[in-house]
Amino acid sequence: MKLKALFLSILLCVLFGSVQAQDDLSAKGIAAKFAWDAQSQDLGTLAVGDKGTQTFTFKNEGKIPLMISSVTTSWGATLSNYSKSPIPPGGSGKIVADYTPKKSGAIKEYITVVSNAESFTVSLTLTGKAE
């Protein structure tokens, strides 16, 4: 039990130190920075069962490489691909998301991107209609 408490304490210190270091870099203007072409994409009208795909593109306008640590989706969307290698300053990347509607109605799905950018978490949106 003491070992678990020690491990948890060390883990929290490391995580807090990482966040604090990132905050310090951001405050000094030394950070990765997303510049999205669009944070919301419209799938248009899809037939139930047909797959729609949209690509979210971005540029790193920061001063250090941008690293995406995770990309998650709401329950209906899936990820085809996303930039897993560090994106150098001035470089570009993408996140490709798919959605296949199972019933008719409005589509609104969310994609959460976690990275070392000055805004750690970014939310992207897929919208559309299923008939």
Convert the pLDDT of each residue in 21-39 to its tens digit: 444 554 556 789 999 999 9
- Are 84 and 60 members of one domain? yes
pLDDT at residue number 2: 54
pLDDT at residue number 1: 55
- Are 57 and 107 members of one domain? yes
Which positions of the chain have pLDDT values less than 70? Answer: 1-29
pLDDT at residue number 76: 75
Residue owning tokens 């795909």: 53
Of the candidates 115, 116, 72, 114, the residue with the CA atom closest to the CA atom of residue 97: 72
- DSSP state for residue 66 in the 8-state scheme: B
Instruction: Indicate which CATH number applies to the domain containing 100.
Output: 2.60.40.10
Of the candidates 113, 111, 115, 114, the residue with the CA atom closest to the CA atom of residue 125: 111
Alpha-carbon radius of gyration of the chain: 18
Of the candidates 127, 81, 131, the residue with the CA atom closest to the CA atom of residue 107: 127
- Are 36 and 19 members of one domain? no
pTM above 0.85, yes or no: no
- Are 50 and 102 members of one domain? yes
pLDDT at residue number 4: 56
Paired residues of 35 in beta bridges: 59
- Are 12 and 44 members of one domain? no
> Which range marks the domain in which residue 116 is found?
31-130
